[in-house]
Amino acid sequence: MVIFRPIPAAAARSPFDVLESTPLPGLDPQWSRVVTARTEDGERGFHVLDTAEALAQRGITPTGTILAVHGNPTWSYLWRGVIAASLEQARPGHAWRVIAPDQLDMGFSERLAHPEPPSAGAPSYRRLEQRLGDLDALMDALDVDAELPLVTLGHDWGGIISLGWAVRHQQAVDAAVCLNTAVDHPSGEPVPPALRAAMAPGVLAGSTVVTDAFLRVTLALAEGGLSDDVAAAYRAPYVSHLGRGGIGGFVADIPALAAHRSRGVLEEISAGLSRWSKPALLIWGPKDPVFRDRYLQDLMERIPHADLHRFEGAGHLVSEDRDVAGVLFDWLGQQFDAAAQPSASPAPAAEVAGLHQQLETMSLSWRRDRPAAVDMSSDGAPAVLTWAQLSEQVEALAAGLHSLGVRSGDRVSLLVPPGNSLTVVLYACLRLGAVAVVADAGLGVRGMTRAVRSARPDWIIGARPGLTLARTMSWPGRRISTEPLPPHQARLLGTVASVERLRRGADPRALQELPHPEPEHPAAVLFTSGSTGPAKGVVYTHRRLGALVALLRHQFAVKPGASLIAGFAPFALLGPAIGATSVTPRMSVTKPSTLTAEAVAAAAAAGEATMFFGSPAALRNVVATADRLSVAQREDLGRIRLVLSAGAPVHPRLLDQVQEIFPAAEIHTPYGMTEGLLQADIRREQIHEAMKTSQPGVCVGRPVAGVRFALAPLQADGTSAADLVEPEQAGGALSEIVVSAAHLKAGYDRLWHTDWTSRRDTRDGLLWHRTGDVGHIDDAGRLWIQGRLQHVITTAAGPVGPGAVETPVDELDQVARSAAVGVGPVGAQAVVVILEPAEGRRLRDGRSPLARPEVAQAVRAAAGEVSVSAVLVVDWLPTDIRHNSKIDRTALAAWAEKVLAGERVSAP
């Protein structure tokens, strides 16, 4: 049984005066001061971290103030990174003064006397209202220039207090920034279990004050774990139970019940926040067992204009896990210093129409009874929808969804495999103005879970496997099944409706009242493949998707009545908007490499297709299975006039083989990315022509209509220059590719900092996108790609794109594919080439990771001017799931670094 012993009062003191053997890494004694403030119950001593003196010493006058409020059970030590960064950036005429107090009873501030253990009614403990008053008193006591911009910053309980203080001082506070917190807890809903344990009346005092359990648990929430020194610094004010009264007091002050004495103030804050009109930024660590994503959702609903940066993989102590200061100061710079960001794009390739327009036109034209969508994904005869049927089904479902409550702006996650039902659901959403969240199975279960959680859909529409996954992984959103489910299954999967019934039961006339979505409304969130970090959500507006449709029609002369086989999902979904028939061939969605030549031929026959869109993995398998084609099937493929390979670069050797299968087709390999699906284009013959010039990398052709490229040349450390140059000015130097076009992304979803970084250029008043791809543009205006910016190898001789080595090495007979990575320190890296042997070839002796000397010699000769230090061999190069073609060079580099240091490691 735990016994509470009364806690005596104690004065505030500086940690640097009292701590003898605990270092405080990252904290400068110059920042530490004790301030006396006149609070509602008398003079109280506060320990405060304040950069006023540090700035004064450097002769810098602050131009703004940040008030940073810690939570429970941390102390102002939490803000050391923000403080250090503020001083690093401070210069005359531009300097933020940071004031980070320890709250009363917390950190090294004054300890109140507590004769009784903490509980909701215990009078000796600070309540929310008093803590707001404490901040008033403290700000009065500190000499803060009221004329300067004032920004609040908070975390955990400090989030509530800082936001509450900002709401009460709307006139004085210019912006509010918050890390993981919550301003509302619906009193009917259960408290998160992680917190409930500590709040139980019999446990509260024991877990928070008498023992340090609550403290230890909180510090363990840092995702990478805290270093011993840092953990000790956090614990320093709370090592004795005499210091922990405030921890218990805070927990007791959580107004989980309607009758709680702090409930009224909390409601005042949460209501006030809904009227907050000034800039706001939320920085969030989603792996927080207490402040989970639903609290983030609540905050976003209250402050819809808030910017959000959600650090995938970070937890409750997000400022320990990630560079929060970097995001904060870039954001403050944008809010208070920068000129307005440009939003203009070059003119689109052709006139942009609504995404629905073509569907409606087709359904009213003479083609109304021609196939619009042919689905061969399941056994049996192809499922065919005519334009009239498709249009009717889309309208009926849109009306049904609307009657269920789906509204413009709602996010709808689509867990439906490619096929007719996905097409119907997607266009119904687009018609309503609901935002389609497309997290494809190519991300893998973990990747999809992360993606769906980050996008936070209001609705999930799925087939049974998708819904089962949603249920098991507790994805957010009300669930709708594609097929009607028997009641017990509907209960099990927690669905509220089915597409079938919604479509049948609704009155399409209701739709006539509903306006079409505005061009600037978001239409879809797509996800990057996640081969370079967690998948990022990419937001497209109706206008920008419309521009893509216009471009596709213009670039590939896709006319209404054309028919395309969709082996590559993103383009396939646009079929109805293009006015082209889309045929879904038989293949496993997660494995494009399961698409066979026969399946393509069958699709060509059934849909009278003239175009085939595929990924490189799909094309490889089509080539591999071509010998099974019958004469009739070959004839069907002979009618294809356009083959498009998208998703990753392919070798022209493969394209030559593809050409044999599709003798009448023009073969294109467009270059693009999730953030801008089509940027450049090149034909097979042009690739051969370009390769004769022996330039480094892969030639992806010239910009398509409406696309402008600029270059950010790479520097010795492998980063790209801040300023853009025109392609002609770069002189062929290795550069990051930067692009501007009407069909680019509108932005990254809930990744404010990533978005800001990608669009930071302002050249010619255009909205640009930093692609993260590196390469060069040659004299003939052709773009050559050499890989990703983060995979650039920084040798002493200058930065090297992996593609400069891989492209010629892949040419070697004995090599299936290769990866070039760097090992060693930035600027002095050694180039390492890792080979995947061609089938049946042995390139190494026994289990040695080293290539045989003659293989290494051949690789070095192929690499030409780039000096290759080591050549290693693995059975398989690790790749992404979606395309099965993006090599995980980051993992390979880490592996090679170990191998080449003599460590014993297993295959990457």
Partner 1 sequence: MSSPVQSLPNSEHPGGEILPPARILITGASGLLGRSVAAHLAELGYQVTTFQRSPSSLETVRDIRGSLTDPQAVQAAVEGQDAIIHMAAKVSVSGRREEFEQVNILGTERIFNAAWAAGVQHVLYVSSPSVAHGGSSLVGAPAAAADPEKAQGHYAQTKAEAELIAEARGSAGTSVLIMRPHLVWGPGDGQLTARIVDRARSGRLPVLGSGAPLVDTLYIRNAVEAFAAGLRRLPLIAAEQPVAGRRLVVTNGEPRPIGELLAGIAEAGGAPRPRFRVPASLAAAAGSVIEKLWAVTGPHEDEPPMTRFLAEQLSTAHWFDQRHTQQVLQWRPRISIDQGLAELAAHVQRTGGVL
Looking at residues 790 to 819 of the shown chain, list those that interact with partner 1 (rule: CB under 8 A): 796
Compute the CA torsion angle 655, 657, 661, 664 (nearest 10 deg): 50
Among 344, 492, 828, 907, binds partner 1 (CB under 8 A): 828
The alpha carbon of 475 is separated from its chain's Cα centroid by a whole number of angstroms, namely: 17
Query: Is the CB of 781 or the CB of 853 nearer to partner 1?
Result: 853
For the sheet with 830-837, list strands across it.
815-823, 830-837, 868-873
Quickly count: other Cβ atoms within 10 Å of residue 748's Cβ: 22
Query: Is the CB of 183 or the CB of 859 nearer to partner 1?
Result: 859
Quickly count: other Cβ atoms within 10 Å of residue 632's Cβ: 9
Among 830, 874, 877, 892, binds partner 1 (CB under 8 A): 830
- Degrees, nearest 5: CA angle 780-784-787: 165
Going by DSSP bridges, is the β-strand pair 411-415/707-713 parallel, antiparallel, or unpaired?
Answer: unpaired
Query: Is the CB of 638 or the CB of 798 nearer to partner 1?
Result: 798
- How many residues make contact with partner 1 (CB under 8 A)? 26
Among 27, 416, 524, 872, binds partner 1 (CB under 8 A): 872
Candidate segments 460-468, 503-511, 529-537, 845-853, binder of partner 1 by CB under 8 A: 845-853
Binding status of residue 849 toward partner 1 by CB under 8 A: yes
Among 186, 867, 876, 907, binds partner 1 (CB under 8 A): 867
Is 199 buried (19+), middle (13-18) or exposed (0-12) by CB count in 10 A? middle
Comparing CA positions, the residue from 793, 798, 795, 819 lying closest to residue 807 is: 819
Binding status of residue 899 toward partner 1 by CB under 8 A: yes
Binding status of residue 902 toward partner 1 by CB under 8 A: yes
Binding status of residue 580 toward partner 1 by CB under 8 A: no
Binding status of residue 18 toward partner 1 by CB under 8 A: no
Alpha helical stretches, state H, 506-572: 542-556, 569-572
Binding status of residue 344 toward partner 1 by CB under 8 A: no
Query: Is the CB of 104 or the CB of 834 nearer to partner 1?
Result: 834
Query: Is the CB of 561 or the CB of 827 nearer to partner 1?
Result: 827
Going by DSSP bridges, is the β-strand pair 64-69/769-777 parallel, antiparallel, or unpaired?
Answer: unpaired
Candidate segments 46-54, 444-452, 475-483, 868-876, binder of partner 1 by CB under 8 A: 868-876
Binding status of residue 897 toward partner 1 by CB under 8 A: yes
Comparing CA positions, the residue from 884, 129, 848 lying closest to residue 531 is: 884
Cis peptide before 476 (omega within 30 of 0): no
Nearest distance from residue 860's CB to partner 1, in Å?
7
Query: Is the CB of 651 or the CB of 852 nearer to partner 1?
Result: 852
Query: Is the CB of 731 or the CB of 864 nearer to partner 1?
Result: 864
Candidate segments 16-24, 224-232, 549-557, 854-862, binder of partner 1 by CB under 8 A: 854-862
Candidate segments 228-236, 271-279, 827-835, 878-886, binder of partner 1 by CB under 8 A: 827-835
Binding status of residue 687 toward partner 1 by CB under 8 A: no
CA distance 755 to 258: 40
3-state secondary structure (DSSP) of residue 827: coil
Query: Is the CB of 35 or the CB of 870 nearer to partner 1?
Result: 870
Nearest distance from residue 873's CB to partner 1, in Å?
11
Is 865 buried (19+), middle (13-18) or exposed (0-12) by CB count in 10 A? exposed
DSSP string, 754-785: HHHHHT---GGGB--EEEEEEEEE-TTS-EEE
Among 488, 509, 692, 904, binds partner 1 (CB under 8 A): 904
Query: Is the CB of 644 or the CB of 872 nearer to partner 1?
Result: 872
The alpha carbon of 347 is separated from its chain's Cα centroid by a whole number of angstroms, namely: 28
Query: Is the CB of 77 or the CB of 895 nearer to partner 1?
Result: 895
CB-based burial, 507-545: b 16+ in 10 Å, e otherwise: eeeebeeeebbebebbbbbbbbbbbbebbbbbbbbbbbb
CA distance 46 to 102: 6
Query: Is the CB of 9 or the CB of 796 nearer to partner 1?
Result: 796
Among 361, 869, 891, 894, binds partner 1 (CB under 8 A): 869
CA distance 540 to 570: 12
Which residues sit at the interface with partner 1, rule CB under 8 A?
Answer: 796, 823-825, 827-830, 846, 848-850, 853, 856-857, 860, 867, 869-870, 872, 897, 899-902, 904
